[in-house]
Amino acid sequence: MTLEERIKALIRDVPDFPQKGVIFRDITPLLKEPKVVSEIIDEFEAFARKKGIEVVAAIESRGFIFGMPLCLRLGVPFVPIRKEGKLPWATIKQTYELEYGTATVEMHKDAISRGQRVLVLDDLLATGGTALASAKLVESLGGKVEGIAFVIELTYLGGREKLRGYDVLTLVRY
């Protein structure tokens, strides 16, 4: 069985969550399998090493699950990207469009140094709005987004198209 097949076998489909008509891809069963999680981190590590990554910027909250172990493997800093109002110190913000309204993500204004090679990381690529906003945060501080990585990609939502121009890695596609 390939890694993709093992990951898919561990992802639970939850119909009508968070609203009717949506199939939520739940990674919590996957998290009970440390060997598979370790293999996911292996894939992210190989991608990051090829890119010379100096910082991992992970998106709240499920991106943190994969981001911190990856940082430990690489020996690089971890930068949290959070929803507005969750970080305790001076931040920079990026607002982006949602289907109904807008959302904002933030990062500490001293999180990235000019010229640092950054990997943006999250668990799931859907429409791409959060990932693009996160990449813009990194770039606004002078960081260079060398790649954006996800465990899951929902191809039918077109998020990869929104991230055109970035090197995007996904391990599983629906």
What is the b/e burial string over 10-19, where b = at least 16 CB atoms within 10 angstroms of the residue's CB? bbeeeeeeee
Side-chain-facing half-sphere of 129: CA atoms under 13 Å? 14
Contacts with 107 (C-beta within 8 Å, 6 or more apart), sequence order: 57, 79, 80, 81, 82, 87, 91, 92, 134, 137, 138, 141
C-alpha span between 58 and 82 (Å, rounded):
9
Is residue 62 among the annotated active site residues? yes
Q: Map tokens 């199939």 to a residue.
A: 23
- The single residue of 25, 54, 62, 106 carrying the catalytic annotation is 62
Is residue 84 among the annotated active site residues? no
User: Would you name the residues annotated as active-site residues?
Assistant: 62, 99
